[in-house]
Amino acid sequence: MERKALRILDANYNRAREALRTAEEYCRFVLEDQRLAGQAKNIRHQLSSIMSNWDAQQLISERDTASDVGRDLKIDSAQGRLCLADCFTAAVKRAGEALRVLAETAQIDSGTLSVQFEQLRFEIYALEKDVLQGLPRHRFHDVRLYVLIPALPQMADSQVLDIAGACAEGGADALQLRAVGIEDDRLFKLSKKFVSLCKAGRVLIIINNRADIAALTEADGLHLGRHDLPCSQAKKLLFRPALIGLSTHSENELRAAIDAGADYVGIGACFPSPTKPEVAVSGLDYVKKALALLKETSIGHVAIGGITAENLPTLLEAGVRAAAVSSAVCAAEDPRVACRQFKELLLQKNP
């Protein structure tokens, strides 16, 4: 093989390996996802295994960093890094580009090794997709106060939005628009305003039941009940990675939600609910069983059903990190104050 080709192999091997390490650390320390971290690590090890077909000392001997003409090249419009997710995205793009160069260059010496580099490149694409699809689940990890905003036919849209705005100002981390009996054209217009309001307040945006509305308004997620569209089908309708939440009322339903790929689950009803009086109370025993099952997964949870400021401490002692409320806040004289009270209780136990 030409000496210049060895230099290209060495440079792009280092570039790809460094990028994959960055991706692995993101999966490990930011997402805290053992499976994804292992996926990135495996790709890195496969890369090293392929490169072992060339003599390491010979590759290093061709390295000439001091006179590398690309050393001082700078691009004014280089991609910025605003968050750790940006670092991951840049890393996997860099790894993919390096592997493309390795595949092209390796053809000089071995078509078989070239194909192996190409296969690794597609594994990186798969890793990128898996991580990006998991980002909404990671974001839910920070949710403590989840408020369900009712939208009923007799309510003016302005009333719905005023309540949502007050909850966002009061410290709600996630808001779900729960519309009942509203025509589709009105619901779509209301949902667009709801999404805009939540984005401005940096609040996680969930639409109840309606995958089409969630997709068209670019909400952060969708919540589904036991008789709604299956989770796997709902995901096909969403245009970008989004949260899917599923309601569960028993251990069997919870196991089914885990198998279905839910990003978070509602567990309850914890207490009798004025919002849904027809739902049977699952009680504290189910909450404890659910938390034990979820501990072995990366799936988030939110306790739901009849939760008040008075009974919330009981749930927190059981290990609940996030609570969903509706009438306790939305029917309060001042939803802002009510949200602040709930948020303070939640943060005392789960800062």
Q: What is the pLDDT of residues 239-258, one digit of tens each?
A: 778 899 999 999 999 999 99
pLDDT-derived band of residue 143, with 50, 70 and 90 as boundaries? very high
Q: Which CATH superfamily does the domain covering 141-349 fall into?
A: Aldolase class I (3.20.20.70)
What's the Cα-to-Cα distance from 268 to each of 69, 107, 195, 290, 347, rounded to whole Å? 63, 59, 26, 9, 21
Structure tokens belonging to residue 244? 């899917």
| Cβ count within 10 A of residue 267 | 31
Q: What's the pLDDT at 77?
A: 54
The domain locations on the chain are 3-63+82-138, 141-349
- Asked whether residue 76 carries a pLDDT value surpassing 70, the answer given is no
**Does position 134 have pLDDT exceeding 80, yes or no?**
no
* Cis, bond preceding 269 (omega within 30 deg of 0): yes
For residue 256, give the amino acid letter: A
pLDDT digits (tens, 9 = 90+) for 169-196: 999 999 999 999 999 999 999 999 999 9
pLDDT score of 81 more than 80: no
Distance separating alpha carbons of residues 207 and 257, to the nearest angstrom? 18
DSSP structural state of residue 241: -
CA distances from 71 to 68, 191, 205, 247 (A): 5, 51, 45, 55
pLDDT above 60 (res 304): yes
